[in-house]
Chains A and B, each alone.
Chain A
Amino acid sequence: MRVLIQMKPERDVVEAVANPQLTATTQDVAGSMPGVELDQSFTPVALPRPVPTTTEGDPLSLTQQLRFSMRPEDATVLVRGEIHDYDAASRLSMLALSRPQIVGISADPAIQTSPTCPGDGPVGNWQDVKNLLAELGADDLDGSGIALAITDTGINTQHLSNELDRPVTVDAARSWNPPGVTGKPGQFPVDHGTMCAFDALIAAPKATLIDVPVLLSQQQGPTVMSGLLSDAVAAYSHLWSVLETMPDDKRALIVSNSWGSFSPRWDFPPSHPGNYSDNPGHPFNLMVTALESAGADVLFAAGNCGLDCPDGRCEFPDRPIVGANSHPRALSIGGVDTRGNRVGYSSQGPGRLDPNKPDICAYTHFEGSHAFGAGEPDSGTSAACPVAAGVVAAVRTQWSANAIKPAELRTLLQRTADDRGAAGFDHDYGFGIINVPAIMDALRRRSKNGHGIRR
């Protein structure tokens, strides 16, 4: 929690703060303050004391005539810092009692413009995203030879090639259709899946796409409970087989999932043994565990049910990151715009299977694939997830799942993320925004220290 601390330091310190010709730092004003991470970059601010203009005035009323005194014996000084979110109320009370010079403490909320919301125009473009991830190219981490599965509405390679002005590879032999879906890999109508593929290729331009149009299934039952997650179960079983054919020292499969469930009406209640949203024992959640255990990096979009401006389809009353989107063995990806601000629709934790969700954030709401027409952004955590999946695929270019286990890579991405929001993990940004320069530093250190084996 960010706080403003109002202090009454020694007179000469107040004079130094109030006089623009002099300089006083937070260190000069507050020294050290155990339990508070003082912001040393903040220039202390002198606050004048309001004084009634008449001797009979009410010292507590702001509705009378007042003058404001900046005299050293009257003025106070503001510094700012941060205290841990845990048990914040008690910490604030203890802080107020810890130093006699502290005369007041107040919240220092972040001042933001309105967050990016559904319907807003793009914030930056895919070249901006590419630049933010550019350092991957310095070590030739481009996804060459890496299989990247897009489980979605199918991919249109012609559109991708036109937009990117270069060929795009879809591995037809390792792609898979749900029962009843007859289209060919890489030849599906331009839609959400093509957007996801485009966004994955930003960081991993040479990755080999595996087309898994699981959202195209037309299978519908007599009630709203009947649907398509069973197709995802079958898709993951296929991907497990794909992974098993890879030699151990070359094993790498990234699975990008920009979909999920919007409503508890489509599920059994959490108390039911067949429930999906809260039940790690559901067959699909078990398949995620199996695939990750076999060496796959599984990424799920966190969802678009953020409190600021949720998608109109959101129906979970709370904790909207459900089922596999909150799986402890998957990375749950929230969304930020290219300015690094969380988009208002990005779902917030805690997650239902694992409370510490989302894990990290990646970029979304930029002009990119034009899959939805000119001027329409690649948006939703749907876009953020494949952007992050592309980064993972790029890393896998030289680091197989044997060299860095999927769990280790998740930890590396979390540990290197650019922290935003409250200090450390929070339920808006997770551990922060995916941070390619820090990932590269960590990989280079790992290599230098002899940990892990390059492919």
Chain B
Amino acid sequence: MAPDKPTSLITVTLPSGATLEDALRQLGIGRDAVDTDYGLVDLHNGTYALLVTEAVAERAHGTPGARGPYANPKIEPFGPPQPGRDED
């Protein structure tokens, strides 16, 4: 079974100027459950985004102020356009 890497996107409501440590305390999790390189991203609407393990994301529903998981899809450049399958 693949290890549960912190790739699930959630948001958490925190006061202005909050740090990653504040988010960890609110969620009741350790640093090993989050992507510390990604850190805590201020969404400038009173909430912050962070990447957590799937297990933490699933628990996020029940944590006050936490929401998610949100889709974190792969994004790709729109060019150059590649021929369609029947044009190959």
Minimum Cβ distance to chain A for residue B60 (Å): 10
Contact pick for A225, options B44, B47, B72, B75, CB 8 Å: B72
Asked if A230 is an interface residue, CB under 8 A from chain B, the answer is: yes
Q: Which residues of chain B have C-beta atoms less than 8 A from A287's C-beta?
A: 43-44
- The residues in A between 343 and 391 inclusive whose CB is less than 8 angstroms from any CB of B are 345, 372, 376-383, 385
Instruction: Please determine whether A259 and B37 come into contact, CB atoms closer than 8 angstroms.
Output: no
CB distance from A97 to the nearest CB of B (A): 44
Minimal beta-carbon separation of B80 from chain A (angstroms): 5
Size band of the A side of the interface? 35 or more
What 17 new A-B contacts, CB under 8 Å, besides A312-B85, A383-B79?
Answer: A179-B39, A219-B7, A226-B7, A226-B74, A229-B71, A229-B74, A233-B9, A234-B39, A234-B41, A240-B44, A267-B71, A268-B70, A268-B71, A276-B73, A282-B71, A309-B81, A312-B82
Query: Which of B77, B87, B88 is the one whose CB lies under 8 Å from A215?
Result: B77
> Please, which residue of chain B has its CB at the minimum distance from the CB of A265?
B73
Interface of A is mostly: loop
Complex: how many Å from CA A312 to CA B88? 9
Chain B neighbourhood of A275, CB < 8 A? 71
CB of A310 within 8 A of CB of B84, answer yes
**B7-53 interface (Cβ within 8 A of A):** 7-9, 11, 35, 37-39, 41-45, 47, 49, 51
Chain A residues positioned under 8 Å from B75 (CB to CB): 214-215, 227-229, 232, 259-261
Give CA–CA (A224, B72) in the complex, Å.
9
Please list the 7 inter-chain residue pairs (A to B) with the smallest Cβ-Cβ separation, ordered nearest first: A380-B79, A382-B79, A221-B7, A227-B74, A266-B73, A179-B37, A118-B81
Q: How far is the CA of A230 from the CA of B2 in the complex (A)?
A: 21
Tell me which residues from 207 to 250 in chain A have a Cβ below 8 Å from any Cβ of chain B.
Answer: 214-215, 219, 221-222, 224-230, 232-234, 237, 240
Contacts of A383 in B (CB 8 A): 79
Is A26's beta carbon under 8 Å from chain B?
no
Query: Contact at A259–B83, with CB atoms within 8 Å?
Result: no
A262 touches B43 (CB 8 A): no
A313 interface contact, C-beta 8 A: yes
Distance in angstroms between the alpha carbons of A133 and B82 in the assembled complex: 28
Also in contact, A222 and B7, with CB within 8 A (given A233-B49, A310-B84):
yes
Is B72 a contact partner of A222 (Cβ separation < 8 A)?
A: no
Contact A283 B83 (CB under 8 A): no
Per-residue CB contact flags for chain A residues 303-317 toward chain B (1 = under 8 Å, else 0) read 110000111111000
Q: A222-B2, A233-B9 are contacts. A376–B80 as well, Cβ < 8 Å?
A: yes
Do B49 and A304 have beta carbons less than 8 Å apart? no
- Asked if A225 and B73 make an inter-chain contact with CB atoms under 8 angstroms apart, the answer reads yes
Given A240-B44, A259-B77, A311:B49 Cβ within 8 A: no
Give A269 Cβ to nearest chain B Cβ, in Å: 9
Q: For the complex, is A301 an interface residue (Cβ under 8 Å from B)?
A: yes
CA A195 – CA B80 in complex, angstroms? 10
On whether the beta carbons of B41 and A379 are closer than 8 Å, the reply is no
Which of B8, B41, B87 is within 8 Å of A233, CB to CB?
B41
CB distance from B8 to the nearest CB of A (A): 8
Contact yes or no, A379 B80, CB < 8 A: yes
Chain B residue numbers with a CB within 8 Å of A282 are: 70-71
B72/A227 in contact, CB under 8 A: yes
Per-position binary interface string of chain A over residues 182-207, scored 1 when its CB falls under 8 Å from any chain B CB and 0 otherwise = 00000000001001000000000000
The CA-CA distance from A180 to B39 in the complex, in Å, is 12
A381:B68 contact, CB within 8 angstroms: no
User: Which of A226, A259, A267 interacts with B78 by CB under 8 Å?
Assistant: A259
Task: Give Cα A262 to B79, complex, Å.
Answer: 12
Residues of B within 8 A of A378 (CB): 79
| 11 A-B residue pairs with CB within 8 Å | A117-B83, A153-B77, A179-B35, A225-B72, A227-B72, A230-B72, A237-B42, A266-B73, A304-B79, A309-B83, A312-B82
A312 touches B87 (CB 8 A): yes
